[in-house]
Structure 1
């Protein structure tokens, strides 16, 4: 009897084979196979029976606690198991970006007790000793964070807000940056910053305030002004932010992308999603590359100048007429004190990016100009 040949099964995209929670694990395992799946940072200590009876051929388990019996069984079936690394203040295989509560857990005992501070202390101990294992862990962690960030921002119109860390709470500049973040979020954009203090915190605060009435932000600014800087006490500075969050829970989401390379600058607590990196170069490039709806550059120093031209380079070489908008705020700063505008316009001459750059004098103009450049 003639039999119709079996049809080849379509390949499943790699990202569709990622399991990042216990609920996802249970749902997939219920189908009868975990073969070729990637299970990332899921605690499987209570799933020994499932692992012993389910096909795990060519699966990969990244930092998943499991019993010795289960580990031996899945290895025997052809799976790869990368066990959790003991005594680390961070999970190199993490499946999601951080939350403020996660990084500042234990703040009541002082900032030094938090996972954020302990991760920086580990980084300081290991980054100069040449230990290939430590450098591998940093790389694995940063790659996992990038993967999580890509999943988080998939399809989102992201606008970057760049600016210096020195902008103090209680200043007119800080309030202006916060209103900018609110305006951008209310326009349907996902605000992303470098995730630190100063202008970065202000923009994340504004996005957090977006769902509330305008009076909420003004009151929050007054409360935060009592602790203007993370110096001398990061703990006091962070507690003030969490007090605002507790008074007005469920604020609007935004993204912060900080780095332990600048460990003296703590992450701010107003970004709902924090993608923190060990490698600053990876962090800076990733922040700009993901700012698909444009970037606003507030007054800053060397770091912000570098970001302007890091962002200008792909725009300069963009040949399809689709460079991302760039808005520089404070004409005197960018044309006199640090004359980046002159060089930027020289680069833009006769290039498609020329129609996508602008210099505005007042921060209140930035959101509207960014939207106009995007048309």
Structure 2
């Protein structure tokens, strides 16, 4: 009984003309997808091109390293709440002071504070936590316009990939507390809502602070999305809205 796969490890370029199949570890390549050379050859050939460091297989190792670094940095964090809000919230504004109060209140309730590590509302929550003697965590992201981690971050981790960073926000938090924010805040909010709706996380309170800011979105979800059958009426209970920071803290930290 013959086999189409050659038993020897020679590269595609060294095989007879017309070679149509190649086994590279668990990957099978055929026809026009056969590659020249072997993995060892490409690794050891220092004279070769350097664009391999930008290829998808190499990115997998970078992604893996980000998970390892994030898990290692936060594994012993203890109870925590992720706080989101706009990076454009100016210091000294009522929203900024609200963020400081929330960060302080979470620490007083026995929780660490996790934010995106940037300026604005994130800085405010980190500031409230740090100045109250609690643990203030910042999970930054590599962006062309990002200002880096704010000065009130005690434990900071910078990420290349949004999806790795999102995992850390959920894995090491007992809930989300969401201040008024833009697209990034909405992204994190709807990610969390989807995880709760689909049962990927079993208990994960999501509290929005700012009735005037969030009411329009809540009304649209109820009167359009749910009304047209695009979501279930029970999904309206996936989050709560309040103007009271003390109530917000109590809702997100209750056992």
> CA 1:164–1:319 in structure 2 vs 1: closer, same or farther (change >3 Å)?
closer
The runs of 5 or more residues in structure 1 that have no matched partner are 1-81, 83-129, 212-251
> CA 1:279–1:286 in structure 2 vs 1: closer, same or farther (change >3 Å)?
same
Q: Distance in 2 between matches of 1:370 and 1:328?
A: 10
Match of residue 292 from structure 1: 173
The CA deviation at 1:290 is: 2.0
Match of residue 324 from structure 1: 204
Q: Is the 8 A contact 2:96 2:121 kept in 1?
A: yes
Q: Please say if 1:278 is aligned against 2:200.
A: no
Q: Is the 8 A contact 2:103 2:124 kept in 1?
A: yes
Q: How many residues align?
A: 199
The CA deviation at 1:342 is: 4.6
Q: How high is the TM-score relative to the length of structure 2?
A: 0.68
Q: Rg larger in 1 or in 2?
A: 2
> CA 1:359–1:177 in structure 2 vs 1: closer, same or farther (change >3 Å)?
same
More strand by share: 2
Moved more, 171-180 or 142-151: 142-151
Helix, strand or coil: the match of 2:140?
Answer: coil
Residues 106-127 of structure 1: per-residue CA shift (max 9 Å, x gap): xxxxxxxxxxxxxxxxxxxxxx
Match of residue 110 from structure 2: 188
Q: How high is the TM-score relative to the length of structure 1?
A: 0.48
Q: Distance in 1 between matches of 2:219 and 2:184?
A: 15
Match of residue 132 from structure 1: 52
The runs of 5 or more residues in structure 2 that have no matched partner are 1-42, 44-49
Residues 8-38 of structure 1: per-residue CA shift (max 9 Å, x gap): xxxxxxxxxxxxxxxxxxxxxxxxxxxxxxx
Q: Distance in 2 between matches of 1:262 and 1:296?
A: 27
> CA 1:185–1:194 in structure 2 vs 1: closer, same or farther (change >3 Å)?
same
> CA 1:265–1:319 in structure 2 vs 1: closer, same or farther (change >3 Å)?
closer
Q: Distance in 2 between matches of 1:364 and 1:342?
A: 27
1:101-116 to structure 2, matched below 5 A, reads: none
Q: Distance in 2 between matches of 1:289 and 1:137?
A: 26
Match of residue 221 from structure 2: 343
